[in-house]
């Protein structure tokens, strides 16, 4: 019987909210068993770019990453946010280790090809060093991954944190019974975006297709849900979407996704 593994991705808005940030890390520290945390940098990359006089360019909500922007992402994701998380988790008794995809050759990627838009130094994941991550978990460490990968040629790449979480969960599913948690500011996937309490408790593949057809899942939820079902189709046992409360034992208010 496989050991259980939880892969938890925390959203940018939780990182920005100091009280919410402390709360989600406290809940994460109390989760039993093997676990991995994945984070981005919230709006801090945009804030730092403005301070340094570097224009932030976005297309359809996705950041264009030139060389200067990548340097800031490395500073914020791999430095400021990563080390704050690691230090707070150590204080909570979790032996955390901050990682990018380059550390231990954990996540390799290639620069996204230019189709309609040149996203610059943005990576699409090629492979995950599941054995190396397994050895870290086996040694009692809790890996904390930021939204950076590498191409094996010395180049770091800015990579979507939701995608990193899904690919980590998929890669680790050979060795573990893996649950993927997407933790953001909403209580779950909502039937009505105007009603915070209209959480859909369970979505399977058929229900997902229907929600897409009726336009209930749209905009920013589309790529997140794509990652959810990509993970499920690749041996991840379960995916949960909701706010930090879903990490509490016995809290029923979130969305569970299965095939």
- Residues contributing to the annotated binding site: 41-42, 63, 158
Task: Report whether 177 contacts 238 (CB < 8 A).
Answer: no
Strand partners, 242: 183
DSSP 104: G
Pick the closest to residue 179 from 228, 136, 146 (CA basis): 228
| DSSP β-ladder status, 62-63 and 156-158 | unpaired
Angle at which helix 18-30 crosses helix 82-91, to 10 degrees, equals: 50
The long-range contacts involving 154-158, CB below 8 angstroms and separated by at least 24 positions, are: 155/111, 155/121, 156/70, 156/74, 156/100, 156/101, 156/102, 156/121, 157/65, 157/70, 157/101, 157/109, 157/111, 157/121, 157/122, 157/123, 158/63, 158/65, 158/69, 158/70, 158/73, 158/121, 158/122, 158/123
The Cα 217–Cα 191 span in angstroms is 8
Helices (H), 119-204: 130-138, 161-172
Binding site residue list for substrate? 41-42, 63, 158
DSSP label of 234: T
């Amino acid at each position: 019987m496989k050991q259980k593994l939880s892969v938890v991705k925390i959203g940018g808005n939780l990182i920005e909210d100091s009280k919410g940030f402390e709360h989600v890390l406290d809940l994460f520290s109390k989760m039993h068993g093997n676990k991995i945390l994945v984070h981005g940098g919230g709006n801090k990359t945009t804030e730092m770019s403005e301070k340094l006089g570097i224009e932030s360019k976005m297309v359809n909500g996705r950041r264009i990453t030139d060389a200067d922007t990548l340097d800031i992402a490395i500073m914020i994701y791999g430095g400021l946010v990563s080390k704050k998380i690691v230090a707070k988790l150590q204080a909570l008794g979790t032996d955390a280790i901050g990682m990018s995809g380059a550390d231990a050759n954990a996540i390799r990627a290639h620069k996204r090809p230019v189709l309609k838009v040149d996203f610059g130094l943005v990576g699409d994941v090629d492979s995950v060093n599941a054995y190396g991550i397994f050895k870290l978990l086996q040694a009692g460490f809790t890996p904390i991954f930021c939204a950076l990968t590498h191409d094996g040629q010395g180049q770091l790449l800015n990579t979507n944190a939701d995608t990193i979480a899904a690919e980590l969960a998929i890669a680790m599913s050979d060795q573990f019974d893996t649950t993927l948690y997407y933790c953001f500011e909403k209580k779950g996937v909502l039937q009505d975006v105007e009603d915070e309490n209209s959480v859909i408790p369970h979505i399977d593949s058929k229900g997902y297709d229907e929600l897409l057809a009726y336009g209930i899942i749209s905009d920013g939820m589309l790529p997140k849900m794509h990652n959810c079902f990509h993970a499920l189709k690749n041996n991840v046992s379960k995916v949960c979407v909701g706010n930090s409360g879903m990490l509490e034992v016995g809290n029923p208010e979130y969305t569970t996704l299965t095939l």
